[in-house]
Amino acid sequence: MNRCAWDSVIGQEQAVSYLRTAVVRRETSHAYLFVGPPGAGKKTAARAFACAMLCDDDGCGACGTCYRVRMGYHPDVRIVEPEGVNGFLMDEQMRPLIRDINLTPAESSHKVYIIDQADLLGSGSENAANAFLKTLEEPPAYATIVLLAPSYDSVLPTIASRCHIVRFRRIAPSHAEKLVVQRTGARSEDARAALAATGGVLARAVEFLGSASRRDTRGRMLSILKDLPVMDGHDVLVSARELLASVRAPLEELKGAQAEEVEVAADFLRGGSGTALQTRHKRELTSREREAVLEVLGIAESWLRDCLAVSQGVDEAVANADARDAMEEVGTVITPRAALVALKAVSDARRRISYNVNPQLAVEAMLFDIQEVLTCPR
């Protein structure tokens, strides 16, 4: 358990100190733009910031409010991600969002909206874009909007200019590994495997090491990769199904919390707002499932990279040292070209998932493609 919500943000002392001071002095602004490279911890910091604003104890990290914000199901904290192929759907996503901002908080004194990939904001109907700008400039007093983007320049100037900028620095991989070891007491090879699984996102690597079910899913993915060359078509389909079941297992807690929220709200929710709640729950589940599937793809990707490294004799820095046996077997036969074809199968799966293809189908297709390379690795 974190001693305080801010503890989840690792290696970003300046940004944390700026935000934390603002909360303690009750001087938070209505709009922020967090900028920094992927993996720097912007989303984690935005969640911690939300905890600090909503919690009675400035983000104690231990109360029910902090817990629900961290798990992603506090009714007064929304994380919004682009749902269209090319970005946000300004009419379908932003209009409901603006309506939602204007509803008073459900149980806290504040509401926090975290808009991920804000660099993709802006296309779509001019009316919706203008309405969003107006809301961003002058949201209701209880609302804070936090936009996340890789850089200041990637965001439309009309949007960026309405926000306070908070910068997140890039953390070198070797330093990231040290920070994870410091935080968790894990062995460095486990820290490296966790960072590889979570795309180098420190906070998620720390969570990963603390989650038996996610480590179990990783083990499953690695053993599928190891056995792929000897599987038949049926085995591959069964493995994909079991893998997805393992990915979905940790989402049961979220489903339970959602069912509880529906029950509590049933008395005062009528028609439209009940549907809105269902839509929000469905979005949260889809987004969490996608995140978990992407983690599994990251594991496959890092294992294939390791095989490539081993085949080239540069195996000091393999990310999955515990799977070395299988990798050495593959490493002796795989060519760099074949490894690249297998890696492309992973990025194809990632793309399909971002286009809302059923995750199971995307994973099945990926496993068949990798199998072809591993059985005939030239």
- Name residue, tokens 């195996």: 315
Residue nearest to Zn ion (CB): 55
Comparison of 63 and 285: residue with beta carbon closer to Zn ion: 63
Phi and psi at residue 37, to the nearest 5° = -65, 160
Within 134-173, the residues that bind Zn ion by CB under 5 A are none
Comparison of 66 and 80: residue with beta carbon closer to Zn ion: 66
Closest separation in Å from C-beta 187 to Zn ion: 32
Judged on CB neighbours under 10 Å (0-12, 13-18, 19+), 325 is exposed
Closest separation in Å from C-beta 52 to Zn ion: 8
- What binding mask, one character per residue, do residues 28-57 give for Zn ion by CB under 5 A, x or -? ---------------------------x--
Comparison of 66 and 149: residue with beta carbon closer to Zn ion: 66
Comparison of 24 and 238: residue with beta carbon closer to Zn ion: 24
Within 53-92, the residues that bind Zn ion by CB under 5 A are 55, 60, 63, 66
Site size toward Zn ion (CB under 5 A) is: 4
Comparison of 21 and 130: residue with beta carbon closer to Zn ion: 21
Query: Which long-range CB contacts under 8 A does 69-74 form with residues at least 24 apart?
Result: 69/5, 70/5, 70/8, 71/253, 71/254, 71/257, 72/254, 72/284, 72/288, 73/254, 73/257, 73/258, 73/261, 73/284, 74/50, 74/108
Closest separation in Å from C-beta 7 to Zn ion: 12
**CA atoms of 110 and 104, how far apart (whole Å):** 9
Residues in the chain: 378
Comparison of 2 and 211: residue with beta carbon closer to Zn ion: 2
Closest separation in Å from C-beta 57 to Zn ion: 5
Closest separation in Å from C-beta 58 to Zn ion: 8
**CA atoms of 195 and 296, how far apart (whole Å):** 12
**CA atoms of 364 and 99, how far apart (whole Å):** 40
Closest separation in Å from C-beta 54 to Zn ion: 8
Give the number of other CB atoms < 10 A from CB of residue 238: 12
366 touching Zn ion, by CB under 5 A: no
- Name residue, tokens 């992927």: 38
By the criterion CB under 5 A, which residues form the site for Zn ion?
55, 60, 63, 66
